Structure 1
Amino acid sequence: MIEDTNPETAFLPGRFVVIPLKIANRGGITEKGYQTVPILCYHRFANSCDSPLCMPADVFDRQMKYLKENGYRVIGPEELLDFLDYRKAIPKNAVMITVDDGYRSVYNIAYPILKKYGFAATLFIYIDYVGVSSKAMTWDHLRELKQEGFYIGSHSVAHSDLSKKKETEDDKAYLARLKKEIFRSKEIIDHELDQDTLIFSYPFGRRNQTVISLSRQAGFKIAVTVDRGGNPFFADPFTIRRDQVLKRDMKRFVSRLKTFQSYPLK
């Protein structure tokens, strides 16, 4: 708030700095438009990649360097929820970094790069993958990352498609699976990390009204999709948009960082 209130020249010896005493403009609305929050979605990282879901370490480093050098501030789900609930303002150039699934490459590759630039990310893990092999993070990894400012959210128990019944399921079995995937995942993360997990990531971004309703009943406050676009304060907290970062050119990456939607109000 202090940075956004003052010009850069204020932070020099002998200059006055304005300290705002109350939160103004909690929704980021101006006569020219309104603030939106872009949310970036990654999956795994490697020095050399052979899949669009894998981000090369050097490309990820350039992307994070761009965010740092261009004044973007990374927020977590708590700040996003305050913004969506119209309780608190967030930085003008706020962006959220998320990583799905729980690959160990997040710990080995992405974490050092994020730390280098002073950023943290929101991680969505699915329970059945935690600690299953050397390619997956363990609960100890997740506890360490939480201590370093990362937020751990739920990505279900088994990462199954929640939006439709399996061929072998009747309505009762389908509902039982949904409750396990949603409620049980929150219970386990809450227990392992001693927290009240507030954010859920729909596997594959797929959901229906039953899934949305159960996510709310389970105690989640926000749920994210992989529908492209930004999020103003009046966005539906259970259909939050995210942009999957699948391409590696910087021009396309920068195009995902739109933090303001023009909408003249005069």
Structure 2
Amino acid sequence: MALFGLRSHLSCAGFSLRLIVLTFFLGCAHPSAMLPPVQRDVYRSSERILHRIKPGDTPAMLAQKYLGAARLAWMVEDANPKDAFRPDRFAVIPLKINNRAGITDQGYQTVPILCYHRFAPSCDSPLCMPAGIFEKQLRYLKENGYRVIGPEELVEFLDYRKAIPQNAVMISIDDGYRSVYDVAYPLLKKYGFTATLFIYVDYVGVSSQAITWQQLRELKREGFYIGSHSVAHSDLSQRQKDEDDTAYVARLKREIFRSKQIIDEKLNQDTLIFSYPFGRHNPTVASLTRQAGYRIAVTVDRGSNPFFADPLRLRRDQILKRDMDRFASRLKTFTNFPLQ
């Protein structure tokens, strides 16, 4: 049975299209038990809607009409075969998804978080991604049906409150280089994607190589999410030279708490995600991160994240190599764990 139990309702052989539509709501009952078929374009139940496709209908239009937001087009797409959106065919619009953890009898959903830093037409550093390679990666995501989500959706998934798209992936970019705005942003927009930016606030606007608050506000209006990467990007996992316990904790609080306060004020938001500088942390750092009000935090430990992952120790894959096979291997959105 498909994830939402939808296709099974459409599998009763031997009936006309009209009877199949009625069967969707009444079950595979004998035709004599059914009401006479009526030509309709929309059928409703408490859990789903059947909509007869008209020329020009798209998943985004159906999501806007029935679910209230075009960004929920993935719910329509995931509930239907690829050829469902042809005129006079019926498409399913699920009104809710009960499988909030992405669990099937074959395993469970996981969310890869990709980590980038800066971009340029050509690069000589592993932390710099050439624009041409980045575009190939985005094209691969688009052509293979990956959907980019942000921290809000990820929190709902980890809290077991809402389902997320199949093949969900998060794109994150650390530090706050100007090249995010100049190079990455136009390419992401071209493919209909956004990203989560992690900035350390002391770097914002300090030079021509750094992103500005005005640019960050523009990116936020375009659907990008701005998270914290601390104040000064210092290693939080250990004391600095000549730093006693009191000074160490004071530095941690400034890097973790103060960065959130500044970003909240500058961007009028409640920042919910933190990126540990260098990906390093310890129990004290994680505890302070929670106390500061962050809901989730990311490392640079490789791997994807199931719904039961530790929200303050989420895994990320740094995209440092340029070959597409290696990139594709980082996109693990499902873990096989057969239950039968």
Deviation at 1:107, TM superposition (A): 0.2
**Equivalent of 1:49 in 118, 123, 138:** 123
Runs (4+) of structure 1 exceeding 6 A deviation are none
Using the aligned pairs only, state the percent identity: 77
- In the TM superposition, what are the counterparts of 1:126-141 in structure 2 within 5 Å? 126-141=200-215
Query: For residues 133 and 86 of structure 2, what CA distance do their matches in structure 1 show?
Result: 34
TM-score (norm 1): 1.00
Match of 2:278 in 1: 204
Match of 2:163 in 1: 89
SS for the counterpart of 2:297 is strand
Match of 1:18 in 2: 92
Match of 1:251 in 2: 325
Deviations 1:217-266 (A, max 9, x none): 00000000000000000000000000000000000000000100000111
Deviations 1:9-33 (A, max 9, x none): 1111111011112222100000000
SS for the counterpart of 1:18 is strand
Query: For residues 214 and 119 of structure 1, what CA distance do their matches in structure 2 show?
Result: 32
Query: For residues 146 and 95 of structure 2, what CA distance do their matches in structure 1 show?
Result: 23
Match of 1:178 in 2: 252
Query: For residues 44 and 31 of structure 1, what CA distance do their matches in structure 2 show?
Result: 40
Deviation at 1:167, TM superposition (A): 1.1
Deviations 1:48-77 (A, max 9, x none): 100000000000000000000110000000
TM-score (norm 2): 0.78
Give the aligned length: 266
- In the TM superposition, what are the counterparts of 1:11-160 in structure 2 within 5 Å? 11-160=85-234
Deviation at 1:2, TM superposition (A): 1.0
SS for the counterpart of 2:256 is helix
Query: For residues 182 and 257 of structure 1, what CA distance do their matches in structure 2 show?
Result: 30
Query: For residues 50 and 59 of structure 1, what CA distance do their matches in structure 2 show?
Result: 13
Match of 2:267 in 1: 193
Match of 1:237 in 2: 311
SS for the counterpart of 2:290 is helix
Deviations 1:149-185 (A, max 9, x none): 0000000000000000001100000000000000000
Deviations 1:112-146 (A, max 9, x none): 00000000000000011000000000100100000
Q: Does 1:265 align with 2:265?
A: no
Query: For residues 214 and 101 of structure 1, what CA distance do their matches in structure 2 show?
Result: 21
Larger CA Rg, structure 1 vs 2: 2
Query: For residues 98 and 212 of structure 2, what CA distance do their matches in structure 1 show?
Result: 42
Query: For residues 83 and 97 of structure 2, what CA distance do their matches in structure 1 show?
Result: 23
Deviation at 1:195, TM superposition (A): 0.1
Query: Which fold has the larger relative contact order, with Cα–Cα distance below 8 Å and residues 6 or more apart in sequence?
Result: 1
